[in-house]
Amino acid sequence: MTTQNLTISAPPSPLQEFWHYFSQNRGAVIGLYYVCLIIFLVIFADLVAPHPPYEQYRDALLTPPVWADGGSWRFILGTDDVGRDILSRLIHGARLSMLAGAMVVTLSLTLGIILGLVAGYYRGIVETIIMRVADVMLAVPGLLLAIAIVAILGPNLINASMAIVIVSMPHYIRLTRASTIGELNKDYVVSSRVAGAGALRIMFITVLPNCMAPLIVQATLGFSNAILDMAALGFVGLGAQAPYPEWGSMLANARQFVQSAWWVVTFPGVMILSTVLAFNLMGDGLRDALDPKLKQ
Amino acid sequence: MSLLEVENLSVAFGSETNPFKAVDKISYRVEAGQVLGIVGESGSGKSVSSLAIMGLVDYPGRVSASSLKFDGQDLESLSEKQRRDITGRDIAMIFQEPMSSLNPCFTVGDQIMEALAVHQGGSKKERKAKTIELLQQVGIPAPETRLSAYPHQLSGGMSQRVMIAMAIACDPKLLIADEPSTALDVTIQAQIIDLLLDLQREKNMGLVLITHDLALVAEAAHQVAVMYAGQIVETGTASEIFSTPQHPYTQALLRSLPEYSLGEKRLQALGGVVPGAHDRPNGCLLNPRCPYATDQCRSNEPDLIGTSDRAVKCFYPLNAEGRPAA
Amino acid sequence: MSYILEAKDLKKHYEVSQGFLKPKATVKALDGVSFRIDAGKTLAVVGESGCGKSTLAKLLTMIETPTEGSLSFEGHDLLAPERAKELRQKIQIIFQNPYGSLNPRKKVGTILEEPLVINSQLSKDERKERALAMLAKVGLKTEHYNRYPHMFSGGQRQRIAIARGLMMQPSIVIADEPVSALDVSVQAQVLNLMMDLQDEFNLSYIFISHDLSVVEHIADEVMVMYLGKVVEYGSKEDIFANPQHPYTRALLSSTPRINPEHRIERIRLKGELPSPLDPPTGCAFNSRCQFAQDRCRTETPDLMDGVVACHGVEEGRLDYLQATQVATSAQPVEA
C-alpha cells in the first residue's frame, strides 16, 4: 500500500513566510520603502544631490522653496542663511544620521547580546554583576552622559555615538538574558548538551538564533532613537560640528529664522520626523511578523 | 426529542472559494443521560465542532448548519444574549489544560462564584455556600480552605476538579468534555473520568466526551462517533464499534493499538498521515491510506449510510469478519 | 557477566530554597534506584509525576551527576571524568515533545549533523552522507534535509529526533515518553520504527512511559517507580500477569482497555500524588494505599529480592496475591 505524496511544492522558506506576514501591515511596508529610499540617498548622495552641500551661493541667501514667491527650480527646497542648498544638505545629512544609527545599533547590539547570553547562561554571581551594571547604565540619562563624554573627549560624531551606545546597551542585555533563560530549559538545548556541545556553542549557535526576534525589533527602534539622540546632540552643538550637514545642527542654526524663513527650520525637522517614523513603523511590522503567537 | 441535535454542521476557514473545512457536514445526537464519545486524532475537527456548538468559533471561522437544536430550541435563531444565557448554564464545557483554562489572577473561589453570579445570581453568602458544596461534590478535601487558593497552587488533578465544579455550578443539561484527562497522570485520569461519569449519572446529564483515547471511550461511552479529517466516518454503540467496526479507519485505529498486538513483535500501523489543509484528496478522504480503496473511492465521496444510531461513511463497509463487502 | 548499563543505588537530592532566612529543604528526587540492562533489551520505567523518571533520564545522560550511587557502562565507571566524554556518546536521548526537541531555527540537516560536528573529525560531505543515510533509515526523504522543523508533523519530527539520537551510533537510548504526544496511528508507526532500529543496531532502550499498554508491548523488563524509589521490578510477563505492589495494581487498573476481558477491577486511589518536598513518612505510598497499616507509616520497605518493596507483600496479608508470591523468574538486583 503506497502513500501518495500530495504536496506539490516545498513549503515556503522562512523568508517567504516572513514577507507574507510583514506585507500585511501597510504602514510597515511604507516604512520599509522609505527606509530603502533613505539608504539609496545615502549611497548615491553625490549623484542625486543637485549641489555640493558646502557650496555657498552668495547670490541666493535665504531663497524660499520653489513653490513660494521668489523661489526657483535651482534650489528646490530653498537655501539657508549662507546660501547653501537645503535639499543637498538634507541628502548628505542622511549619511550622518544613518551612520550614527548604524554604529550605535551595531555596537550596542553586539555587546548587549554577548553580555546577555553570558548572564543568562552562567547565572549566579556573573549574572548579578552584569545585571546590576546594566541597571546603573539604565539609570543614567542618555543625553547628559553624552554631554559629559563629549565635553571630556571633544565634540564629534564618534564620541557622541559612544555615549548613546552605553545607554542603549542595557535594553539588549535584558532582552537577551530573558530569552536565554527561557530557551535554556527547552528540550532542544538539552539535546545539544547530550550531544556534547560546550558553553560557547550552546550560547551562540543553539540559543541565540531563537532569541533574535525581539532583538531585531528593539534594534529597529534603537535605530530611530539613535537618530533622535544624534539630532538632539547636534541641536545643542555637541554632535557633528559645522559645516557637516547634520539634521540636528541644521535645526539649531535655523532657530533664528523660524518666523522669517520658515523653510530653513521646517525641512530638517520634517526629515528627522519622517525617518524616525519610518523606522518605528517598520519595527511594528517586524514585531507582528516575527512574533509566533500572533500568527494565524 | 434529543437533548442535542446537530445536523450538517460545518466550520470553514480561509478563503470563500477554497475554504479549509475543519468540520465538514457532521451530524449526531445526544440524549439526556447518555454519554457520546467523539473519537479522532489530531486534525479530525473534534474540538472545533464542539466549540462551534458553544458559539466559541470566532472570525475567521465560519459556522454553518442545517439544524442545531438544543433541548428543542434552535440555537442559530437565538440572539447573542440568549445564546450566552444558555452556554455556561445549560451547556457547559471543560477543556484539556486545566492550568491554562483557569484564570491565574483570580482565586478558585472567585472564579466559581463568578459563574454562579452570571447565571444564577444570589447574595455573596449564598454563592459562597454553593461553591463549597460544589467543591465537595467534585471531591476536593477541605473545600473551605481552598476557596482562596490560586490556580498555580493546585495540582493538575485538583485544577481539573475545579473546572468541573465551575461547569456543573448551574446544573447544566449537557456537559462537553474536551480531552478532560489527557494532560493528567494515569491514576488521576481514572479519578477524573470516574468523577465525570458519577456526576453524569447522578444528574442525568448528557455528556459529550471528546478524546483520542479509544480505550477510554470503550469503557465510558454509550454511543461513539469516529471522526477523520473533519468528517464523521462511523457511528454506533461502543460495543458495536469496537467489536465489529465497519469503517476501514476505525478498524485501522483499533488494530494499531498495542493492546491489539499483544505477543506480536510489530504493531499494525496505518501508513501515511492525516491530510492537512492543503492536501485533501479527491473522493473519500481516507483513500490514500485505505488498504481497500478502489477507483470509486478515489473519485467519489461516499455518503453516510445507515440509521441515526449506526451509520458508516464508506462504499464498502466491513462485514463481521472485518473484510469489505464485495 | 557485565551488563551494558548497571546502576546501583542512584540518589539525586536537590536543595531548594524555602525563602529568605529559612533553612533549605531537600528534595529527594531519586532515592536509591538500582537496575541493570542487557544489550538489545528494553527496560521500561513506569511512573507518574514526581516519581523521578525525568531525573533518572538526566542522570543517565550525564547532564547531572548523582548525589550518591554508581553508574557503569560495559563495566566502566561512567562517573569518572576521564572517559566521560567518550562514553557519553554511547548514551543518547529522545524526548517526549516533538515540538520542542528540535531547534526551530536550524534545518534538519544541521540538526542531524550537529553531534558529528562536535564529536568527530568528518568532512562536510561525509557528514552529509551520514545524515542522509539516517534520514532514509527513519523513513524520511532526501528533500527533507533542507527543511525546518515546523514544516513537519509530530510523527515526522519524532522520527527526526530518533535519527539525531542515533547519529553517534549509541548503544543505549533513553526514550522519555517518545510516543505520548503522538496520535494513535502515528504512535504505532514510530514504535515499529524504534523496534526495527533496535533489532538492526542491537540498541538497549530505557523506555520511560506512563502508558502501560505501550509498555506491555515493547518492554522486556519493567521498573515501577513512586516518589523516587523503585516499588516493583520484574519481567514484563510477571508484572502484567501478577502485579504485586498495590501501586502497580492501581496503575494497571486505571489504564483503560478496549477489550472488557483485559480489564481488572478498578482500584480507586484516594488523594493526590504527594509532593516530593513533603513526602509521607515510612512507605511513600501509604497515604493512598488501601492496605496501609501502622508499620507502613513508620518504616520504609526495602526492595525484597529486588522485586517488590511492600510490607503487605512481605507479610503476606494482601488478599489478591496467589500462593506463589515472591518466587518469580525476575532477575534479582543486588540490594
- At C43-55, the pLDDT tens digits run 999 998 888 888 9
| CATH number of the domain enclosing B46 | 3.40.50.300
How confident is the model at residue A8, as a pLDDT?
39
How confident is the model at residue C299, as a pLDDT?
83
- Per-residue confidence at A180, pLDDT binned at 50, 70, 90? very high
Distance from the Cα of B274 to chain A's closest Cα (Å) equals 11
Tell me how far apart the alpha carbons of residues C120 and C114 are, in angstroms, rounded to a whole number: 10
> How is residue A55 written as a grid cell?
557650496
Q: Is the pLDDT of residue A253 over 90?
A: no
Tell me how far apart the alpha carbons of residues B97 and B179 are, in angstroms, rounded to a whole number: 9
**% of chain A residues with pLDDT over 90:** 26
Tell me how far apart the alpha carbons of residues B59 and B57 are, in angstroms, rounded to a whole number: 7
Q: What letter would DSSP give residue B172?
A: -
How confident is the model at residue A2, as a pLDDT?
35
Domain A93-294, CATH: 1.10.3720.10
When the pLDDT of each residue in chain B is averaged and rounded to a whole number, the result is 88
How confident is the model at residue A293, as a pLDDT?
53
How confident is the model at residue A106, as a pLDDT?
93
Tell me how far apart the alpha carbons of residues C288 and C115 are, in angstroms, rounded to a whole number: 45
Mean pLDDT of C301-330: 67
Q: What DSSP string describes A167-209?
A: HHHHHHHHHHHHHHHHHHTSHHHHHHHHTT--HHIIIIIIIHH
- Which residue type is seen at B16? E
Least CA distance to A195: which residue of chain C?
A: C115
How confident is the model at residue C267, as a pLDDT?
78
How confident is the model at residue A10, as a pLDDT?
60
- Which of B271, B279, B281 is closest, CB to CB, to A1? B271
In chain B, the number of structural domains is 1
Q: Is the pLDDT of residue C292 over 80?
A: yes
Q: pLDDT, tens digit, for every residue of B266-293?
A: 888 888 888 877 778 888 998 888 888 8
Q: Is the pLDDT of residue B52 over 70?
A: yes
Q: Is the pLDDT of residue B211 over 60?
A: yes
- Per-residue confidence at B250, pLDDT binned at 50, 70, 90? very high
- Per-residue confidence at C224, pLDDT binned at 50, 70, 90? very high
Q: pLDDT, tens digit, for every residue of B105-159?
A: 899 999 899 888 887 888 889 989 999 999 998 888 888 888 888 988 888 888 8
Q: Which residues of C touch B276 (CB under 8 A)?
A: 153
Residue B195, in any domain of the structure: yes
Q: What letter would DSSP give residue C275?
A: P
B309 touches chain C (CB under 8 A): no
Q: Which of B17-21, B236-240, C141-145, C248-252 has the lowest mean pLDDT?
A: B17-21
Domain ranges of chain A: 93-294
How confident is the model at residue C325, as a pLDDT?
37
- Distances A214 to A182, A292, C317 between C-alpha atoms, Å: 13, 11, 63
How confident is the model at residue C330, as a pLDDT?
37
- Which of C95, C101, C115 is closest, CB to CB, to A195? C115
- Rounded CA Rg of chain B: 21
Residue to test with chain A: of C54, C114, C157, most A Cβ within 10 A: C114
Q: Do A6 and B281 touch (CB under 8 A)?
A: yes
- Which residue type is seen at C243? P
Tell me how far apart the alpha carbons of residues C284 and A45 are, in angstroms, rounded to a whole number: 78
How confident is the model at residue C328, as a pLDDT?
35
Residues 143-182 of A with CB under 8 A from C: none
Q: Which of A268-282, B97-111, C12-26 has the lowest mean pLDDT?
A: C12-26
- Which of these, B230, B222, B326, B246, lies nearest to B285 by C-alpha position? B230
Mean pLDDT of C28-46: 91
When the pLDDT of each residue in chain A is averaged and rounded to a whole number, the result is 85
How confident is the model at residue C335, as a pLDDT?
32
**% of chain B residues with pLDDT over 70:** 100
Phi, psi at residue B59, to the nearest 5°? Answer: -50, 140
**% of chain B residues with pLDDT over 90:** 26
Q: Do A7 and B278 touch (CB under 8 A)?
A: yes
> How is residue B35 written as a grid cell?
454519554
Helix (H, G, I), strand (E, B) or coil at C166: helix
Q: For chains A and B, count residue pairs whose Cβ atoms are closer than 8 Å.
A: 17
- Rounded CA Rg of chain A: 24
> How is residue B178 written as a grid cell?
474536551
Three-state SS across B198-232?
HHHHHHCCEEEEEECCHHHHHHHCCEEEEEECCEE
How confident is the model at residue A121, as a pLDDT?
94
Q: pLDDT, tens digit, for every residue of C155-185?
A: 899 999 999 999 989 999 999 999 888 888 8
- The three-point CA angle C231-C235-C240 to 5° equals 75
Note the helical H segments in chain A. Answer: 14-22, 26-43, 45-48, 86-122, 124-139, 142-153, 157-184, 187-194, 199-200, 208-235, 247-254, 262-290
User: Can you tell me which residue has the cell 454563592?
Assistant: B127
Residue B36, in any domain of the structure: yes
- Would you give the distance in Å from CA B146 to the centre of its chain? 29
Residues 161-200 of C with CB under 8 A from B: 183-189, 191-192, 195
Distance from the Cα of B60 to chain A's closest Cα (Å) equals 10
Domain of B81, in residue numbers: 4-90+170-312
How confident is the model at residue B326, as a pLDDT?
60
Distance from the Cα of B215 to chain C's closest Cα (Å) equals 5
- Which residue type is seen at A108? S
Q: Is the pLDDT of residue A6 over 50?
A: no
Distance from the Cα of A263 to chain B's closest Cα (Å) equals 49
Are the CB atoms for B180 and B47 separated by under 8 Å? Answer: no
How confident is the model at residue C333, as a pLDDT?
37
Chains that touch A (3 or more CB pairs under 8 A): B, C
Are the CB atoms for B108 and B160 separated by under 8 Å? Answer: no
- Per-residue confidence at A36, pLDDT binned at 50, 70, 90? very high
- Which of C88, C143, C148 is closest, CB to CB, to A196? C88
Q: Which of A95-109, A223-237, B199-213, C3-17 has the lowest mean pLDDT?
A: A223-237
How confident is the model at residue C111, as a pLDDT?
93
How confident is the model at residue C334, as a pLDDT?
34
- Rounded CA Rg of chain C: 21
Mean pLDDT of C122-133: 92
C75 touches chain A (CB under 8 A): no
Mean pLDDT of C280-307: 83
Q: Is the pLDDT of residue A116 over 90?
A: yes
Q: Is the pLDDT of residue C261 over 60?
A: yes
Q: Is the pLDDT of residue A133 over 70?
A: yes
- DSSP H or E stretch at residue C7: strand C5-16
Helix (H, G, I), strand (E, B) or coil at A71: coil
Helix (H, G, I), strand (E, B) or coil at C321: coil
Tell me how far apart the alpha carbons of residues C195 and B267 are, in angstroms, rounded to a whole number: 10
Residue B142, in any domain of the structure: no
Q: What letter would DSSP give residue A258?
A: T
Q: Which of B6-20, B71-85, C72-86, C319-333 has the lowest mean pLDDT?
A: C319-333
- Which of these, B93, B95, B113, B102, lies nearest to B154 by C-alpha position? B102
The neighbour count for residue A59, using CB atoms within 10 Å, is: 8
> How is residue B72 written as a grid cell?
428543542
- Which of A11, A188, A196 is closest, CB to CB, to C89? A196
Distance from the Cα of C90 to chain B's closest Cα (Å) equals 26
Residue B39, in any domain of the structure: yes
How confident is the model at residue A176, as a pLDDT?
95
Selected residue with higher pLDDT from B162 and B115: B162
Are the CB atoms for C105 and A209 separated by under 8 Å? Answer: yes
Q: Do C114 and A195 touch (CB under 8 A)?
A: yes
Tell me how far apart the alpha carbons of residues C122 and B256 are, in angstroms, rounded to a whole number: 40
How confident is the model at residue A114, as a pLDDT?
96
Q: Is the pLDDT of residue B214 over 80?
A: yes
Distance from the Cα of B111 to chain C's closest Cα (Å) equals 22
